[in-house]
Amino acid sequence: MPAWVLIGPGDDAAVIAPARGAVEVLTTDALVEGVHFDRRFVPPAAIGHRALAVNLSDLAAMGARPRAALLSLILPASLPIADLDGLMDGLLTLAAAHKLTLIGGNITRSPGPLIVDLTAIGTTRPRRVLARQGARPGDEVYVTGALAEAAVGLRVLREAAELGGFATRNAPAVDQGDDLVTCRERYLRPVPRVRAGLVLAGNRAASSCIDLSDGLADAARGIAARSGVGMILDAAALPIGAAARSWLEARGLDAVRTALSAGDDYELLFTVRPAHRGRLRGVRRQLGEVPITRIGVVTKEPDLLLREECGLTPLPSGYEHFR
């Protein structure tokens, strides 16, 4: 345990010393079996990884550095101990990668599904907080990483589970090679954009920021609502992964709509003042390989619109979790 943990697990509560000069960023998010994951094709380690990743993604969206977490486990009696060990391994491996300390928790049995509920705590400087509020008309809209890959990964995994074998067996003859491995990994072990959030905050490059846990359309709506603005997103600009696009199109599915509405992409959506493009260049240099794509513009009118070849249409609403 780090020195700032005065009392760790094993007492009625944990006791920690706050980080000097910092403000604290706190979030809670739960993964529920049958709603957010399916144990048939999500291995225990991936459940633990994802449960922490969704919380780290929230910290990332605020520009916070992960520090501590409390874990609340709701366990069905049928869960094998080996699965619990695997879950903890996945969770603690990701925690270690982000220097996050598990300071406490609670375990209870349940007659229902497996639930992994986490509270994550991060730190930042008061003037570096990223928030949903702050976007202004004329700001440019950016997104990190690639879209729709996790959604395709989920579908590939589910098909494989339902066929009792490999998803490729009865599927159309499109690219089923290593690119779909990437999609599966993006679903099973999403990489929360903690470093991107820290660098965006450190460079004061973003006027607003949110994560994409519930899909791009939902995220755009989140910034728009809190900032009192609208947005036009450019369909052609969306950074949809090539393998994901081929897979979707081979099945007659609309890649743009999938990218807009599918959850599980733990990327960051953020806005940048035109005058701060130089700061964004600094962010790109520091982040190196993380793709950052301009996908739209903030508008004064509060509508959320999608620009396609045929013109402007309302942004599709809603997202879907695993069903």
Cβ within 8 Å of residue 251, ≥6 positions away: 172
Task: Tell me the three state secondary structure of residue 126.
Answer: helix
* Beta bridge partner(s), residue 104: 70
Q: What's the min distance (Å) between Cβ of 285 and its own copies?
A: 25
Among the listed residues 41, 98, 124, 149, the single contact to its own copies using CB under 8 A? 124
Contacts of its own copies in 43-82 (CB under 8 A): 57-59, 61-62, 64, 68, 70-72, 74
Q: Mask: binding to its own copies, 188-227, rule CB under 8 A, as x and -?
A: ---------------------xxx--------------x-
Question: By CB under 8 A, is residue 84 in contact with its own copies?
Answer: no
- Pick the closer one to its own copies by CB: 7 or 161: 7
Q: How far apart are CA 49 and CA 256, in angstroms?
A: 28
Q: Does 163 bind its own copies (CB under 8 A)?
A: no
Selected from 35, 163, 181, 242, the binder of its own copies by CB under 8 A is 35
Question: 115, 154, 191, 240: which one contacts its own copies (CB under 8 A)?
Answer: 115
Alpha-carbon dihedral 320, 272, 132, 254, rounded to 10 degrees? -10
User: What is the sign, positive or negative, of the torsion defined by CA atoms of 224, 229, 230, 233?
Assistant: negative
**Number of other residues whose CB lies within 10 A of the CB of residue 281:** 12
The amino acid occupying position 157 is L
Any idea what the Cα angle at residue 210 is, between residues 207 and 215, rounded to 5°? 140
User: Minimum Å distance from CB 181 to its own copies?
Assistant: 29
Nearer to its own copies, 121 or 305 (CB): 121
Query: What is the total count of residues that contact its own copies (CB under 8 A)?
Result: 60
Rounded Cα gap, residues 172 and 154, in angstroms: 17
Regarding 271 and contact with its own copies (CB under 8 A), the answer is no
**Is 27 an interacting residue with respect to its own copies (CB under 8 A)?**
yes
Find all residues with CB under 8 Å of 173, minimum gap 6, and list them.
none
Report the alpha-carbon distance of residue 211 to residue 222 in Å, rounded: 10
**Least distance (Å) from its own copies to the CB of residue 304?**
18
Quick one: tokens of 273? 């003042």
CA distance 52 to 220: 23
Q: Compare residues 208 and 261 and give the one whose CB is closer to its own copies.
A: 208
Q: Using CB under 8 A, which of 12, 178, 289, 309 touches its own copies?
A: 12
The packing angle between helices 242-250 and 149-163, to 10°, is: 50
CB of 153 to its own copies, least distance (A): 21
Q: Which residues bind its own copies (CB under 8 A)?
A: 6-7, 10-18, 22-30, 32, 34-36, 57-59, 61-62, 64, 68, 70-72, 74, 103-106, 108-113, 115, 117, 119, 121-122, 124, 126, 129, 131-133, 209-211, 226
